[in-house]
Amino acid sequence: MSQPRTSPDPKLTRMPPGIPYIIGNEAAERFSFYGMKTILAVFMTKYLWLMNDTPGQMMTEAAATEKVHLFNSAVYLTPIFGGILADAFFGKYRTIIWLSVVYCFGHAALALMGLQGDAAMWLLAGLVLISIGSGGIKSCVSAHVGDQFGASNQNLITRIFNYFYWSINLGAFLSTLLTPWLLKWYGPHWAFGIPGVLMATATFVFWMGRRKFIHVPAGGTSFLLETFSRKGLKTLGKLSVLFLFVAMFWALFDQTASRWVFQAQEMDRTFLGVEWLESQVQAVNPILILTFIPLFTFVIYPKVDKLVKLTPLRKIGAGLFLMGGAFALSSTIQEWIDAGQRPNIGWQILAYALLTAAEVMVSIVALEFSYTQAPRTMKSLVLGLFLFAVSLGNLFTAAVNRYIQIDSPSSAIKVGLQEATKAGDKVSVKLDHAGYDEEIGTPDDLRMTYTTKDGLFTEIPGEVLLKEALDHIEQWSRENDHQLPRPEDADSLIKDCVDPWGNPLRYFLEGSKACRISSDGPDKKAKTQWDIGIFLTIREREPEKPRKWHDSLHPDKPWLDRRKEMLGVSMEEEETDDEITYSRTAFAGGGERLEGAAYYWFFTILMFITALLFIPYAWFYRGETILQE
């Protein structure tokens, strides 16, 4: 059997024969990755603590956001190493095949969580393997697409990169709809397992095309010589500045898998007659991509180009401003939520439209631009650096969410719980924690109680006084059709209430059906671990709905409800008023320094500053287009 070509056919004017295998591989691989990523934040906050035989503690939204973006950062850091392996040592094809196997093992680890051992360790192992596998092949696959083209058919490169991106979003759209549904009704094993099957399929499809591809040989020492040549370093320097701007774009964009999911939980998710799960709303992005790519390529770009010459850098600059607009709308939505409203999910879908337009103009264009500017032996490395920009953006978002988290004294319960778990399956732990004065037996002590049945409860100092203040809020709510008072009304209700240290009580809306009353605690300082308070949550019993044909596709109860019944878990003491449930949960510390709309406006302002600074960079940039020969 003849060996595959090592350079493009100089007479070929149509699409290269290996392209269908790359596109099919990419659609299946992206299904697996986005299917897993779509549900990761919700899984961490709602499911992970129930995966072991002994329930643990629920993860906060800020902590989950931090971990999701650390994972994203790792996924987009490893392309640099994958690019070096491909360009210098093994070539792109072998690097992609080997790392795809690692990728499959990562999905297997997620699917097996909770079956044996500590679920958190399985989660960590799976995410590490996926970050190595997925990240390692990213730069190689993008460069492998470009390697299939030569001078005779280079006019098709823009089209194929759009097709390439189209296949990515087709896989992402299908998985974003399916995996949240699987997670809700069939649980994490199926929700993480099916994307793993698709990854194995992607690997097989890519292997089938091995004889159709152009296999550009590894550069070896020439790779190093060109990388560290004057021209190579100059190219890397110019593009690295571009990648810093792109990094801030991804710092905002990837929050669609974290903060925008949590925001969607507080919105009315009925749209076009369909009630969406909070994670499914992310499917709007890939379906809009499938629409926007041809719209921009064949309609908007040609029309605008007649008025203003549309260079790649001008497209990227316009996209940065659009991203700022998308987050400005998201910030406004959060302001409505902070005011106790429940806006329709259509507003977030509009924000997704702005965000997706920005993605078309920044991500696709910057990916193609980076490839064309890279020296021939450095294609994978440069695209690895482009993806490293995604890593930097996610690392920045993770760092912000790490900084804004406020420690909670209740974390000390973990030590007592670990010791008690060794004694048997039925766990009951009571732990007194010294308060601000660091002495046991004084009025500022906290007591934390954990039982297998009821979960974790925290008894806070001054709890009686806070409950009395919350009684005023609850009474007002019951008298006003179970609506929560706005801050100005609530302040008048609790204006005479203070905590044991003389601090006034603060009222915060957490959405249309949740609020909290808190105080600065014994240290008399806001936003510290000694803050204390009580959450009040109002839940309306959902009316029974007539069964439809698709109800036969899933069990009668969601997986979470069945899992809690299996473990005998009851989360909160509740008082029921007909069809309305009022529940209270005391807390100590554990809040966020930057919360609500302020969090979203912080990133919005940073994005507009980034877009303004990009203008002089684009004006002075000079480069050249370099393709394979």
Print the SS3 string covering 89-132: HHCHHHHHHHHHHHHHHHHHHHHCCCCCCCHHHHHHHHHHHHHH
Q: What pTM was estimated for this model as a whole?
A: 0.86
- Which tokens belong to 141? 């696959």
Question: Residues 95, 133, 261, CA angle at the centre, nearest 5°?
Answer: 145
d(Cα 32, Cα 29) in Å, to the nearest integer?
5
Judge whether residue 573 has pLDDT over 50: no
Please list, in sequence order, all residues whose beta carbon lies within 8 angstroms of the beta carbon of residue 570, skipping any fewer than 6 positions away. 453, 454, 455, 564
Q: Is the separation of the CB atoms in 592 and 518 below 8 Å?
A: no
**Tokens 């554990």 found at:** 590
Judge whether residue 384 has pLDDT over 80: no
Residue 397: pLDDT band by 50, 70, 90 thresholds? very high
How does DSSP assign 390-424, residue by residue? HHHHHHHHHHHHHHHB---GGGGHHHHHHHHHTT-
DSSP code of 10?
A: T
Judge whether residue 396 has pLDDT over 50: yes
Q: What is the pLDDT of residues 230-249, one digit of tens each?
A: 766 777 777 788 889 999 99
- Domains of the chain and any CATH numbers: 19-405+597-620 (1.20.1250.20), 409-544+555-588 (no CATH)
Residue 574: pLDDT band by 50, 70, 90 thresholds? very low
The more confidently predicted of residues 157 and 405 is: 405
Q: Is the separation of the CB atoms in 169 and 32 below 8 Å?
A: no
Judge whether residue 129 has pLDDT over 50: yes
d(Cα 100, Cα 87) in Å, to the nearest integer?
17
The more confidently predicted of residues 483 and 290 is: 483
Neighbours of 155 (CB within 10 A): 10
Average pLDDT over residues 99-104: 91
pLDDT at 320: 97
Residue 439: pLDDT band by 50, 70, 90 thresholds? confident
Judge whether residue 190 has pLDDT over 90: yes
How does DSSP assign 282-326, residue by residue? GGHHHHHHHHHHHHIIIIIHHHHHHHS---HHHHHHHHHHHHHHH
d(Cα 436, Cα 383) in Å, to the nearest integer?
51
The more confidently predicted of residues 4 and 33 is: 33
Residue 575: pLDDT band by 50, 70, 90 thresholds? very low
What's the mean pLDDT when you consider all of the chain? Answer: 84
Average pLDDT over residues 323-347: 96
The more confidently predicted of residues 435 and 325 is: 325
pLDDT at 423: 47
H or E element that contains 473: helix 463-479
Residue 429: pLDDT band by 50, 70, 90 thresholds? low
